[in-house]
Chain A
Amino acid sequence: MAATEIARQAGEGARAVPLAGHVGFDSMPDQLVNKSVNHGFCFNILCVGETGLGKSTLMDTLFNTKFEGEPTQHNQPGVQLKSNTYELQESNVRLKLTVVNTVGFGDQINKEDSYKSIVEFIDTQFEAYLQEELKIKRTLHSYHDTRIHACLYFIAPTGHSLKSLDLVTMKKLDSKVNIIPIIAKSDAISKSELTKFKIKITSELVSNGVQIYQFPTDDETVAEINSTMNGHLPFAVVGSTEEVKIGNKMVKARQYPWGTVQVENENHCDFVKLREMLIRVNMEDLREQTHTRHYELYRRCKLEEMGFKDTDPDCKPFSLQETYEAKRNEFMGDLQKKEEEMRQMFVQRVKEKEAELKEAEKELHEKFDRLKKLHQDEKKKLEDKKKSLDDELNGFKQKKTAAELLQSQAQQAGGSTTLKRDKERKNFF
């Protein structure tokens, strides 16, 4: 439902006219109520507190049921959020209750980042709603709202003051969610200590600028009770699902050797006050505050972060469409530029690599040219050698033939000379 503050606006532009009879629009609130009852309600509670402070027990006690889950160990590495949704019904009213528990909060040695997962969780729920709201085809009226409507911050019953972890966490959460601080396991504190404790806590919260949820006092019907209750904050609570017989009734209580702490006894603890304020009187206001204040703040910051603004420099209001168009164009241009850049980069690389390879190729060719040349030289040398050998061979051959010729000549001549001589001799005789 859009937050329309008509009451303030009613006088603007509308003139009051008297009615001559009963028209019947005074049934409007009933019509509205019927519709919301039919639709069902939803409420989301976040319990923040150290392990062992009785968060789950308190939830069980508040809603008179046993919610599932086992007690967690102390050895969690970080803070996690566990959320469970339950469908409850009371007379004709259906409530979809989501209880979110912080698991491992305050267990780490270094707790600097403890609040981060909580803030993240809350933001995630806001984001989901925002996304749904911004969709083109949306179904807001059937959307299951998971935004945290109330944050119960469990303070350990030390009796002294708030821990620094508490202050840091609450400071981070106060602009995101309605914080209702409560003193857990308050049956460990005596009444006088309690008063001092409460005062100390309240003053510490104020001096640190932590904005806790104030029960609204603008509606006369509940203004009185709300303002009284505001003075009792933080509520000191005790939770118990066990029942003890007191008188002739079974009441929720914790039994000690020295007495019984009755959960619903206003003298013993503020449980009843918490229940009254949280559920019976201000549940709707908590939801409204979440939607109109915390969610709007988140939404505004998110949109501004994305660059949306309501007016352009010329002080003309931008219509949503124009803003979207502009954003989209910018965005597309951005993408295209990125694409171009990458392409260019690749072209560059290719060029470089090509040059590199060409160099290598050139070197290779040069190398082989050198080798070729060497080879040519060798070949030439060989040729020369060959030639010289051939010359020698030829020379030798010539010599040989010449010698042989001479020999054969000589022989012939010798033969003939001997013949001649013989002949001469013969002739002589």
Chain B
Amino acid sequence: MSSGVRSMVSMMTNLEGYVGFANLPNQVYRKSVKRGFEFTLMVVGESGLGKSTLINSLFLTDLYSKDYPGPSLRIKKTVQVEQSKVLVKEGGVQLTLTIVDTPGFGDAVDNSNCWQPVINYIDSKCEDFLNAESRVNRRLMPDNRVHCCLYFIAPSGHGLKPLDIEFMKRLHDKVNVIPLIAKADTLTPEECQLFKKQIMKEIQEHKIQIYEFPDIEDDEDSKLIRKIKERMPLAVVGSNVVIEVNGKKVRGRQYPWGVAEVENGEHCDFTVLRNMLIRTHMQDLKDVTNNVHYENYRSRKLAAVTCNGGVDTSKTKNQMTRSPLAQMEEERREHVMKMKKMETEMEQVFEMKVKEKKQKLKDSEAELERRHEQMKKNLEAQYKELEEKKRHHEEEKSNWEAQQRILEQQKLDASKTMEKNKKKGKIF
């Protein structure tokens, strides 16, 4: 691994055909160094498992010293979550390191829910980030999210304790969990092997997803990484004390029967842990936290708000792929369409009813007209009949009158003749 700032002069030569964006990585490098880095590491485990010592060993510093005593030296009744922030520099690179300790974890008689404060802490950091990210005015966005959680397993040699399993099950989808076998110098290599196998078996049984150190695209290291995966979970030993062994100053634990060297690969997996955690996978831990754990938290949180507890899964699935604002836009559009449809439907019904009514009116008008016409015709027919009758009567009458007149005339004539005859007759 190279250290120090790469010089850029070599990249600036005017090679023919060379465009120059191959220099982009250097630009990224330069900017990242200027920005500095930050990392939050959480350690969880029962008291006395050597958590503080391990941190000091990992970062070759006295994080917890006389002036800043570690939590282990303070007696806690309940589980606390405490953070210490330190700034460390190396090779021109600045790192703001936050160590989150959980004193009191697993120390009570009744440890139900002792993981709750831990979960609360992790969630609250995610929430802070979410709020900062969602502000209208965003500027400084400190990343205080927990990037890695080292879980210390007591070196019983048998298997995981129920508390271990419970904790890891609850935390594995919220943070990168790396289980470690603490105080590994109490186990012989064979015992350690068995213990590791047992632990991994139980982890798989319970479907716990621990952080799998993924392959980094670097041939020499990937072989190493694969070999290392077989050594999971890592068995570590920590020490604050520097001892001289064979003329070399090493960190180790002095026993009557020898010195357990912290950085000796045959004694424990400490160097593996340090290399993986710090030298090769630190950035990946941050990326996984950002892209997976934080996104899960965020989508859970936002889904609860906007879908109001999404009962209908098919609808919520659709909603999930959209931002809430786009969601509202979509809903607005849907509503407009719905309104339009409703409007046209109502219009149609309205028109239809009106048409019906009008038709009815028309029909009754026609009916009435017809009837009226009928009656009129009837009346006319009667009139005609009457006229006919009258005419007939007139005719008859005039005939009869004519006849009468003739009769009258006859009568008159007859009486006249009779008169004449009478006169004649009388003379004789």
Contacts and interface: CB of A to CB of B under 8 A. Distances in A.
Interface residues of B, number: 131
Contact of B323 (A4, A132, A331): A132
B224 interface: no
A306 B136 CA distance: 11
A249 B15 CA distance: 12
Interface stretch (A106-114, A136-144, A185-193): A136-144
Interface in B352-378: 353-354, 357-358, 361, 364-365, 368, 372, 375-376
Nearest to B8: A221
B326 A134 contact: yes
Interface of A: 2-11, 13-38, 41, 43, 62-64, 88, 90-93, 95, 130-138, 140-141, 218-219, 221-222, 249, 264, 272, 275-276, 279-285, 288, 296, 299-300, 303-304, 306, 308-310, 317, 319-321, 324-325, 327-328, 331, 335, 338-339, 342, 346, 349-350, 353, 357, 360-361, 364, 368, 371-372, 375, 378-379, 382, 385-386, 389, 392-393, 396, 400, 403, 407, 410
B22 to A, nearest CB: 4
Contacts of A396: 393, 396-397, 400
Contact of B86 (A16, A33, A385): A16
Interface in B281-317: 281-284, 287, 290-291, 295, 298-299, 301-306
Contacts of A300: 136-137
Contacts of B91: 26
| Dominant secondary structure at the A interface | helix
B39 to A, nearest CB: 8
Interface centre among B59, B134, B411 (most CB of A within 10 A): B134
Given A21-B60, A319-B131, A328-B306, A64 B17 contact: yes
Nearest to B68: A15
Interface in B106-150: 130-131, 133-143
Contacts of A32: 28-29, 32, 283
A280 B23 contact: yes
Nearest to B343: A342
Contacts of A15: 68, 85-87
User: Which secondary structure characterizes the binding site on chain B?
Assistant: helix
18 contacts: A6-B96, A17-B62, A28-B32, A95-B21, A131-B326, A135-B323, A136-B321, A140-B291, A279-B21, A280-B12, A281-B23, A283-B24, A321-B302, A364-B361, A382-B379, A396-B393, A400-B400, A410-B411
A360 to B, nearest CB: 6
B419 interface: no
A349 B343 CA distance: 12
B328 A309 contact: no
Nearest to B346: A346
Contact of A14 (B19, B87, B216, B379): B87
Contacts of B24: 41, 93, 95, 283-284
A284 B92 contact: no
A264 to B, nearest CB: 7
Given A27-B1, A306-B325, A346-B346, A282 B27 contact: yes
Contact of A136 (B131, B134, B290, B319): B319
Q: Which 3 A-B pairs have the closest CB atoms?
A: A134-B323, A26-B91, A284-B27
Nearest to A338: B339
A24 B2 contact: no
A24 B279 contact: yes
Interface string B149-170: 0000000000000000000000
